[in-house]
Amino acid sequence: MTHSTIVPATAPELETLRGALGAFWLENHLPPGDLMTFELVLEEVFINVVSYGVSQTPGTSVEMRLALNDGVVSLVCIDQGIAFNPLEKELPDVNAALEDRPIGGLGIFLVEELMDAVTYQRRDDKNELHMSKRLSTVQ
């Protein structure tokens, strides 16, 4: 069963999506430790979309879809912005020294590291970022 939440593409709406994510977690009795990981991923992806992706097309919305299948939670973020694949961005060098470490670019890197799978699709003039992770068994 898939839960869908649609919000205006503005940063404060992260609160609404976070609420929906928390409710999904409670409803399905999922481990709290994994909730933090998904909250982080949601923040990174949503803020990325509202900061860059849809900034050229105001008044649009973002949809978050959540599903649980055999212990794997999938989160899909769909926006109506111009075609933008965040996975094509150059990843930061996590071995760089303190002085050389770039200030930005960490968000999507964290998403890719914390999720088991992340894929991008352009479909029906929308950007779809699919993320999934198997839940931990220890609570």
**Residues engaged in binding other proteins (CB under 8 A):** 11, 14, 33, 36-37, 39-40, 43-44, 47, 94-99, 101, 103-104, 106-107, 109-110, 113-114
Q: How far is the CB of 1 from other proteins (least distance, A)?
A: 27
**Minimum separation from the CB atom of position 19 to other proteins (A):** 14
Nearer to other proteins, 72 or 96 (CB): 96
Residues facing residue 129 across a β-bridge: 77, 120
State whether residue 61 is helix, strand or coil: strand
Of 43 and 128, which has the nearer Cβ to other proteins? 43
In the complex with other proteins, which residue's Cβ is closer, 31 or 71? 31
Nearest residue (CB) to other proteins, 36 versus 83: 36
Residue type, 85: N
Report in angstroms how near the CB of residue 65 gets to other proteins at its nearest. Answer: 21
Question: Minimum CB separation from other proteins for residue 46, in Å?
Answer: 9
Nearer to other proteins, 93 or 121 (CB): 93
Minimum CB–partner distance for residue 2 and other proteins (Å)? 25
Task: Annotate the chain with three-state secondary structure.
Answer: CEEEEEEECCHHHHHHHHHHHHHHHHHCCCCHHHHHHHHHHHHHHHHHHHHHHCCCCCCCEEEEEEEEECCEEEEEEEECCCCCCHHHCCCCCCCCCCCCCCCCCHHHHHHHHHCCEEEEEEECCEEEEEEEEECCCCC
